[in-house]
Amino acid sequence: MEHYLQRLSEIYNAIDIAYKKAQLHYAFSCEGCADNCCVTRFHHHTVVEELYLAQGLKMLGAEKIKDIKSRAEDVVHIHKTSADETAMCPLNENTLCLIYEYRSMICRVHGVPYKVYKMDSSIEYGAGCYRFLTEKAEAAEDYIINRTPFYLDIARLEKEVREYLNMPGKYKKTTAEMALNIISCKGFVKGEK
């Protein structure tokens, strides 16, 4: 399994490089943003990203894990019982991601303009996050990240991981659901029986 996670790490590294280039191009930063994207209800569609997230969670101590579990339960409850789509990610503490190096793909690519070539030959465009649109909208056509290669690389990797684990079917979870699933696994917290 380790080689799959290493490959995901390499894909993430390529995403981070592309994102940094876009940030430099636009002189764009998330620092101090009042419209925190960590309250956005993102859905993740890959088991391999949950496995990678688990690696990051393993780096944290038992108290942090307990806090994350409690916050994740709260967020899952909010999502199930409220029409409000916003709730702070349970991995965010004092405006910082506790497992930043292990964050999912959408957390890495969100914010700057992008395009994706779809299976039907159409092209999907995204103009950027709220902050980008309010501060840099006039330049949004200058530099557009093509997310397609990253999506394809992760899709191929996901297919291999699913075959290896014999896990057919669809996958769709929020970060809170992934964290709760990971932490709830027997023995995840050290000393747990």
Tell me the residue type at 58: K
Residue 179: pLDDT above 90? yes
pLDDT (tens digit per residue) in 107-127: 998 888 899 999 999 999 988
Structure tokens at 108: 């890495």
Q: Do residues 181 and 50 lie in contact, with contact meaning Cβ atoms separated by under 8 Å?
A: yes
Q: What is the pTM of this model?
A: 0.88
Specify the pLDDT at position 39. 82
**Tokens 């764009």 found at:** 28
Mean pLDDT confidence for 140-162:
92
Closest CA to 38 of 175, 182, 188: 175
pLDDT digits (tens, 9 = 90+) for 61-116: 999 999 999 999 999 999 888 877 778 899 999 888 999 999 999 999 888 889 99
| DSSP type of residue 27 | T
